[in-house]
Amino acid sequence: MSPPPKFVHDLPTPDPESPSLSRPRQPYRFSTLCATVDSPNGDHKDQHGSSSVPIYQTATFKGIGGQYDYTRSGNPTRTHLEHHIAKISSAEHAFAVSSGMAALDVITRILKPGCEVIAGDDLYGGTNRLLTYLKSHMGVTVHHVDTTDAPTILPFLNPGKTAMILLETPTNPLLKIVDIARISAMVKERCEDAVIVVDNTMMSPYLQRPLEHGADIVYDSATKYLSGHHDLMAGVITCNRDDLAKQIAFTINSVGNGLTPFDSFLLLRGTKTLAIRMDRQQSTAMHVAQMLSRMGFVTHYPGLPNHPGKDIHDRIADGYGAVLSFETGDKELSERIVGATRLWGISVSFGAVNSLISMPCVMSHASIDPATRAARGLPEDLIRLCVGIEDPADLLDDLQHALVETGAITLAADDYIRIPNTINKAVEKLALGDRINSDRTRENREWFVSAPGKVILFGEHAVVHGVTAVAASVDLRCYALTSSRHDKKVSVHFPDLDNYQHEWDIDDLPWDVVTSIPAGEEHPDTLDQKLIDAINTRVLPPADQVPRSANNASLAFLYLYMTIAHGAERPSFHIVTRSTLPVSAGLGSSASFSVCVATTLLLLTKRIALPPFPPRTRESAEPGDPGHLHITHHGRRAITQETATEVNRWAFIAEKVLHGNPSGVDNSVAVFGGALAYTRSGFSRKSGMEQIQGFKSLRFLLTNSKVPRDTKRLVAGVAQMKMQCAQDPEVVEKLLDAIQTISDEARRALADPELSRESLLSALSALINENHAHLVALGVSHPALEAIKALAGSDPYNLSTKLTGAGGGGCAVTLVPDDFQETVLDTLVAALRNENFQPYLTAVGGSGLGILSPYDHGLPARNGQVPGPMTPPETPAEELAAADDAQGPASLLTHFENVTLAQLPTWAEERGRWLYV
């Protein structure tokens, strides 16, 4: 049922065009006021007669004594906007600033040390944060009370001290109603100097104008309904008192947070459709609220007949708005519901034309500590819905499907009803079983993935100082295998890291501090330090009880797991990682680990998917028949570029957890393979990564010196060398420029299709020797690396060798010509081992990320049909470690954990067909 219309305002309207008319014009209705932008005064008429207010995109204005001189103090576009906002808000004065919180900041500058503020106990998280700051740093006393019960403010009214009453109605996110008129009268009677401030964001001037009910100042986050499209940040302040307007104008001019001309234009455009947008939004919101209430959920929406504040709201507002919230009784269930929707975007904001869904306690109100949230009655399981302008039927259907899929409702008597909390867990288990049966890819299948390491061929170490590095994938790989669990636990096994094993109860992980990253959206540039701290202090064993490398790997794994799985189904599984790469040798072992972990998690949560494979019979299938999948230049089926890019983004996040500030080159090589050139940002050269097309695979001997590296010390040493070269301050720069020239020449040679193989190898050999000599001059080599280089360069080998990575230990790389005799190479390998070095003969420039195909599994045909996507092989639900069964495939787990490192590459390739980037 829609509220009665109250859209008539006693605002100025044009005089009759002719005195002969028999009746005066009627006051304009609100939607007309919104759509009609008039000039603040005669001076603001555009000289060209434009029908839309022009954007005066200028910082300064010419002349002396004019109305405008500097845009910080005033701008014609902003003036038009402020006049328009005042008109639709029943206000004498309006101001536009850079955000809703900027508006509140301007308002609270009225306060002085020793003042007291009375505020509601159900406030927007940002408001609470600012009040906490004022309390802690400005000597302002803040009393949080239940403002929905007006008399509760009486004990806190202190004449001479109480300076501000901060109200919000409906409250966010519980939709509680505050009687603005009654509280205003009570305050003015006892503390006439106190300023009554109302956050009107949720209603907008269309549905509520608090100035008409006794408020002194009203502010809105215009980012929300006034704009309506989430394409700008803005805040507006309105008031009728000249003294307050003067203070507000002074503050805005002083701090310079007035809205920019372009954003003023956008906001002015958005307000024109405010009425028509909100009519659609609140109409749909009523349908959603009625559906949820009918199903049996505790639903908070002032339009429902049982809402405790409905009578008050009907008296002070013209509608019920488009925000509502409901409780499920179970936080985990709520998180699954949020993640199961499709049309409802997961976001902390509201007011846009598209519908949004969120869990306030883990998103917009996460800055309020859990104890305070509990004290204020804010349920952890609360879901907030912000309704957009989509078709109501689609929104209702999408929400209904999410509730069914997560086991929150069931069909009874031809209608959906809520499942009581007492049996909800049992239903969840049944629903999970149904999903397992219908979606084997998520629960009962093993995922087997691999990613290569990397070697920096040229420019290593110097890359830190802005030199271009040429990096390539190395045919030594990290492998990861996931196996299903059904006990709500997640576990890891890192055989290469002191055989470390650990498991965690999924429910015990610190989900309360996770910030949701919806599918398709990117992780912020900075890591979530709260989550990292929570994992370290609440989840991981004490540092002195775990090998450092295993602790770091666990931290990166859990950070990705919680960030990717949050808001969706949290898979229960076991992951094992093994690597033919030497760990901590400068060959990108951590990056290949990060890529493997990111890939498995994205597959398990269905954030990425493999290309479909058409059904075919074994008789019709040719060996190696690729169906309609893409073919790489290696003749292998390709993982799509979109999937690879998504994996790379998340692998980079894991690298950040492991290393703090990685370049991004290691994980990029591990995902995309081949070779690329990387230049760090912050220097004179153009930054970024560029693939080297047509890279020819090369044979290298990688030799691990087994000497630990201190990368930070090495980098600092070169920086100190720069400072100490007083006689020739450019000596280091000359060395770096010479290395840059080598990198440039190597790129040209590697990408030149006309260059013969013999000429290429000869050129690379010379560049390797020259590059190493410059690195020695920079002081980043090590006696062990020099010993490797001397041995490989001696007779009868005469091979070119250089350090790679940061130097100071780690690995050396030796170029092996195509025609080099294998018996001589075997002799060199033996000689290196005799010196206690660890050599690896490998190819450089091969494939990137690989995923074992779920289609080509080599299983026998049954009834003429090849089994569907069963590989990675179906994992028996009861016996993960069972031996091979003649009737079908058993788990890969036992074999994967026990096969030797030397056998691992061959064993992995024999499991089935691999898809590669």
**Residues with Cβ within 8 Å of residue 341, at least 6 apart in sequence:** 357, 398, 399, 402
Exposed, middle or buried, 317 (CB in 10 Å: 0-12/13-18/19+)?
A: buried
Which residues are 94's β-sheet partners?
238
| 79-88, 640-649, 852-861: range with lowest mean pLDDT | 852-861
Confidence of residue 479 (pLDDT cuts 50, 70, 90): very high
Q: Other C-beta atoms within 10 Å of 616: how many?
A: 14
Please compute the mean of the pLDDT values over residues 164-175 and round it to a whole number.
93
Q: Which residues are annotated as catalytic?
A: 72, 124, 199, 224
CA distance 176 to 153: 16
For residue 280, the surrounding DSSP H or E stretch is helix 274-295
- Torsion angle defined by CA atoms of residues 401, 402, 404 and 407, in that order, rounded to the nearest 10 degrees: 170
Helix axes 529-538, 548-565, angle to 10 degrees: 120
> For residue 329, what are the contacts with CB-CB under 8 A and spacing of at least 6?
381, 421, 424
Amino acid identity of residue 108, one-letter, is T
Q: Is the pLDDT of residue 880 over 90?
A: no
Percent of the chain with pLDDT over 70: 82
Q: Quote the pLDDT of residue 887.
A: 36
- The answer to whether residue 143 scores a pLDDT higher than 60 is yes
> Distance between CA 830 and CA 828 in Å, rounded?
5
Please give the average per-residue pLDDT across 888-906, as a whole number. Answer: 77
pLDDT digits 0-9 by tens, 644-678 = 889 999 999 999 998 887 778 888 899 988 888 88
How confident is the model over 291-330, as pLDDT tens digits? 999 998 999 999 999 999 999 999 999 999 999 999 998 8
Determine contact, residues 471/690, Cβ cutoff 8 Å.
no
Residue 498: Cβ within 10 Å count: 11
Residue 551 near residue 498, CB atoms below 8 Å: no
Region 277-302 average pLDDT: 95
Q: Are strands 838-844 and 573-579 parallel, antiparallel or unpaired?
A: unpaired
How does strand 383-386 pair with strand 409-412? unpaired
Q: Is the pLDDT of residue 865 over 70?
A: no
Q: 42: which 2 tokens?
A: 């005669």
**Banded model confidence at residue 888, pLDDT cuts 50, 70, 90:** very low
DSSP string, 699-758: EEEEEE------HHHHHHHHHHHHHH--S-TTHHHHHHHHHHHHHHHHHHHHH-TTS-HH
767-774: average pLDDT: 91
Q: What pLDDT is recorded for position 733?
A: 80
Does the pLDDT of residue 272 top 90, yes or no? yes
Alpha carbons 806 and 453: distance in angstroms, whole number: 15
Supply the pLDDT for residue 64: 83
Tokens representing 858 are 């080599």
- Can you give the pTM of this predicted structure? 0.51
Using an 8 Å Cβ cutoff, are 896 and 450 in contact? no
Beta pairing class for 489-494 and 116-120: unpaired
**pLDDT band for position 7 (cuts 50, 70, 90):** very low
619 or 335: whose pLDDT is higher? 335
Q: How far apart are CA 115 and CA 133, in angstroms?
A: 14
What is the structure's pLDDT at 607? 86
Check: CB of residue 207 under 8 Å from CB of residue 318. yes
- What is the band of 23 on the pLDDT scale with cuts at 50, 70, 90? low
What is the mean predicted confidence (pLDDT) over 904-916?
Answer: 84
The single-letter code of the amino acid at 521 is E
* 503-547 pLDDT, tens digit each: 999 989 998 888 878 777 888 888 999 999 999 999 998 878 888
CB under 8 Å to 815, separation ≥6 — which residues? 698, 699, 700, 761, 764, 765, 768, 799, 800, 801
More confident residue, 706 or 117: 117
pLDDT at 804: 85
Stated as kind and residue range, the H or E segment containing 456 is: strand 447-458
CA angle (681 as vertex; 678, 687 as ends), nearest 5: 50
Average pLDDT over residues 249-267: 96
Higher-pLDDT residue of 402, 912: 402
Alpha helices in 138-273 (DSSP H): 180-190, 204-207, 242-255, 261-271
At 480, is the pLDDT very low, low, confident or very high (cuts 50, 70, 90)? Answer: very high
Torsion region of 527: left, alpha or beta (phi above 0 gives left; psi -120 to 50 gives alpha) = beta
pLDDT grade, residue 780 (50/70/90)? confident
Pick from 71-80, 137-146, 282-291, 478-487: least confident: 478-487
Q: Can you name the residues that pair with 821 across neighbouring β-strands?
A: none
Q: Average pLDDT over the chain, rounded to whole?
A: 82
- Is residue 502 within a helix (H) or strand (E), and if so which, with residue range? strand 500-505
- Tens of pLDDT, residues 598-623: 999 999 888 887 765 444 333 333 43
pLDDT above 80: residue 166: yes
Query: Maximum Cα–Cα distance for the chain, whole Å?
Result: 114
Question: Is the peptide bond between 796 and the residue preceding it cis, with omega within 30 degrees of 0?
Answer: yes
534/514 Cα distance (integer angstroms): 10
Judge residue 883's burial from the number of C-beta atoms within 10 Å of its C-beta, 0-12 exposed, 13-18 middle, 19 or more buried. Answer: exposed
Question: How far apart, in Å, are the Cα atoms of 158 and each of 117, 143, 186, 679?
Answer: 10, 11, 12, 63
Q: Measured between alpha carbons, how far is 816 from 800 in angstroms, rounded to an integer?
A: 8
Lowest mean pLDDT among 65-79, 193-207, 660-674: 660-674
Number of C-beta neighbours around residue 295 at 10 A: 19
Q: What is the DSSP string of 359-377?
A: -GGGTTTTTS-HHHHHHTT
Structural domains of the chain in order of their starting residue, each with its CATH number: 30-43+51-272 (3.40.640.10), 275-427 (3.90.1150.10), 447-611+637-659 (3.30.230.10)
Rounded Cα distance between 224 and 237, Å, is 14
pLDDT at 42 over 70: no
DSSP tally for the chain: helices H, then strands E:
27, 27
Separation between Cα atoms, residue 671 and residue 646, nearest integer Å: 10
DSSP-based three-state secondary structure for 638: strand
> How far apart, in Å, do the first and last CA atoms of the chain sit?
56
For residue 802, list its beta bridge partners: 813
Place of tokens 């204020």: 376
Residue partners of 52: CB distance under 8 A and separation at least 6? 269
Q: Which residue has the higher pLDDT, 98 or 623?
A: 98
DSSP 150: G
pLDDT reported for residue 305: 93
Q: What is the pLDDT of residue 721?
A: 62
Distance CA 640, CA 223 (A): 37
pLDDT at 444: 62
Predicted confidence band of residue 394 (pLDDT cuts 50, 70, 90): very high
Residues, the chain:
917
